[in-house]
Amino acid sequence: MGRAIRIGQLGCGIVGSAVLRMLARNATDIEQRLGASIEVVAVAVRHLAKERDVPPGTEALYTTDPHEIVGHPDVDIVVEAIGGIEPARHLLLEAINNGKHVVTANKELLAALGQELYEAAERKGVDLYFEAAVAGGIPLIHPLRESLAGERVTKVMGIVNGTTNFILTRMAEEGLEFGEALAEAERLGYTELDPTADIEGFDPAAKAAILASIAFNARVVSGDVYREGIADITAQDIAFAKRLGYTVKLLAIAEQQDGEIAVRVHPAMIPNEHPLASVRENLNAVFVEGESVGELMFYGRGAGGGPTGTSVVGDIIDIARNMLSGGRGPGMSTYSESPIRNIEAMYSQYYILLNVADQPGVLASVASAFGSNNVSIRSVWQEGTGDQAQLVMITHRALERDLQATLGVLRDLPEVTKITSVMRVEGGET
Ligand code: HSE
């Protein structure tokens, strides 16, 4: 018999069970590609009796003690598929300290406390792979870290949350309000038990932090990411966006601006002709810009057992190859000293919807609020008349701080009855 690489897995939920199925189903191919077999030796589960879609015989590998996995003398690679900060953090640290290589899909942990794990892995000389942590089945970490290792990446912009993309797609295509589209997503089982992390943008913010860290060789944590969710978007905003030739998406954006790193997650209007505008339903896509390579786009399924499991299994095989060749994969490089840019200093175009009095001089006062704060108006039109009058405005690219100052002046203008909506516009002017 040839060599076997031995796996211990923490967790056997949707992703964990998909990993086990894939390892079993593709065992012959994997062995031929790798020159060794992958053998699962133990799987930690919380409830032994729970029914799971796993290959025959897996039940015999179950243990309810996760320490058995991370301390198992035969385990070469620990696969973490439990999620959340604890106990995942201390289990992975224990695994690394025991000399195990690690594969994890845990974006929350990596985005908050990744550095601790990266440093522990470096100290112990083990591999820590996490392709599945960002956008499930879409290869992003490998391309950014390896294929683009010689490139200077300037911007990463993506749709990295399927739930919110599904909701925004339904709002755009069926004219639904946010609450109606959320209810449909829940009915179809597209949401997590508690959809807050998706709706409020915490999930994409964690992914943005990881992407920014890799793309810019920096230490970016979730707390560095400016974040807004999609709960305040109305059917009216989406209708105006359509009329202006835009699509509304929840974007995760990481870019280098004047030597600083700017990372943010917020809804934005993007031109219909931008490749991200056509990413519908619960799909994900990430657009990468590099100085030499130009524009790249990665597209696919960002969640679900099959896609996420594919990335996990790919990582397992990569580590197994490193083990067989006696080498190591690329570690985390965080040499960048670039500071994190505050949202106030970031640039964007803006869409602003104002309810106004329909009388002479109103447009002049509104325009003056923009002009005196250095915000240039690109287009404006009036919708409705009398009590129903609204001004729909799009600005040129402006500083967030200047836009906020403009909104402050508009709030105090008696002619402006309400600042109904403000949304960024991306993917147009640079
Ligand atoms: N809840 C996430 C999404 C998937 O909707 O994309 C896991 O990150």
The verdict on 270 and 314 lying in the same domain is: no
Of 301, 334, 367, the residue at which a domain comes to its end is 301
* Domain CATH code at residue 63: 3.40.50.720
Per the domain annotation, does 295 fall within a domain?
yes
If one residue of 159, 193, 198, 311 were mutated to test the ligand 1 pocket, choosing by the most ligand atoms within 8 A of its CB, it would be 198
Can you tell me the distance from the alpha carbon of 390 to that of 410, in angstroms, rounded to the nearest whole number?
Answer: 14
Which domain covers residue 367, as residue numbers? 343-425
Confidence band of 1 (pLDDT split at 50, 70, 90): low
**Cα 213 to ligand 1 centre (Å):** 20
Cα dihedral: 298, 304, 309, 315 (round 10): 40
Pick the atom of ligand 1 nearest to 161's CA: 6
Paired with 294 in beta bridges are: 290
Per the domain annotation, does 331 fall within a domain?
no
The verdict on 148 and 44 lying in the same domain is: no
The verdict on 104 and 220 lying in the same domain is: no
Pick the atom of ligand 1 nearest to 303's CA: 4
Nearest CA to ligand 1 atom 2: 161
The verdict on 258 and 147 lying in the same domain is: yes
- The least confident of 184-198, 314-328, 377-391 is 184-198
Distances 362 to 366, 369, 413, 414 between C-alpha atoms, Å: 6, 11, 9, 10
The verdict on 160 and 243 lying in the same domain is: yes
Can you tell me the distance from the alpha carbon of 322 to that of 46, in angstroms, rounded to the nearest whole number?
Answer: 31
The verdict on 259 and 122 lying in the same domain is: no
The verdict on 154 and 17 lying in the same domain is: no
| Omega of the bond leading into 195 within 30 degrees of 0 (cis) | no
- Per-residue pLDDT reduced to its tens digit, 221-269: 999 999 999 999 999 999 999 999 999 999 999 999 899 999 999 999 9
- Per-residue pLDDT reduced to its tens digit, 346-393: 999 999 999 999 999 999 999 999 999 999 999 999 999 998 999 999
Distances 221 to 153, 206, 224, 277 between C-alpha atoms, Å: 19, 7, 5, 27
**Cα 203 to ligand 1 centre (Å):** 7
The verdict on 17 and 59 lying in the same domain is: yes
Per the domain annotation, does 335 fall within a domain?
no
**Cα 160 to ligand 1 centre (Å):** 8
Pick the atom of ligand 1 nearest to 207's CA: 8
Q: Which amino acids bring their CB within 6 angstroms of ligand 1? A: 161-163, 192, 198, 203, 302-303
Average pLDDT, integer, range 180-196: 90
Per the domain annotation, does 336 fall within a domain?
no
Per the domain annotation, does 97 fall within a domain?
yes
The verdict on 34 and 125 lying in the same domain is: yes
- For residue 429, pLDDT over 80 is answered with no
Of 268, 301, 334, the residue at which a domain comes to its end is 301
The verdict on 87 and 172 lying in the same domain is: no
Per the domain annotation, does 227 fall within a domain?
yes
Per the domain annotation, does 149 fall within a domain?
yes
Confidence band of 134 (pLDDT split at 50, 70, 90): very high
- Per-residue pLDDT reduced to its tens digit, 277-310: 999 999 999 999 999 999 999 999 999 999 999 9
For the chain, percent of residues with pLDDT exceeding 70: 100
The verdict on 385 and 242 lying in the same domain is: no
Per the domain annotation, does 330 fall within a domain?
no
Q: Are 127 and 328 in contact (CB under 8 A)?
A: yes
Confidence band of 2 (pLDDT split at 50, 70, 90): confident
- The total number of structural domains in the chain stands at 3
* Domain CATH code at residue 374: 3.30.70.260
Q: Identify the sign of the CA torsion 78, 82, 84, 88.
A: negative
The pTM (predicted TM-score) of the whole model is 0.96
For residue 102, give every residue at least 6 positions away whose Cβ sits within 8 Å of its Cβ, in sequence order, or none. Answer: 77, 78, 79, 80, 92, 95, 96, 117, 121, 126, 127, 128, 129
What burial letters (b/e) apply to 120-139, b meaning 16+ CB within 10 Å? bbeebebbbbbbbbbbbbbb
- Per-residue pLDDT reduced to its tens digit, 336-355: 999 999 999 999 999 999 99
Residue 259 neighbours by CB distance under 10 Å: 9
**Cα 310 to ligand 1 centre (Å):** 16
Token pair, residue 250, equals 């929840």
pLDDT at residue 344 in the model: 96
The verdict on 241 and 207 lying in the same domain is: yes
Give the active site residues: 207
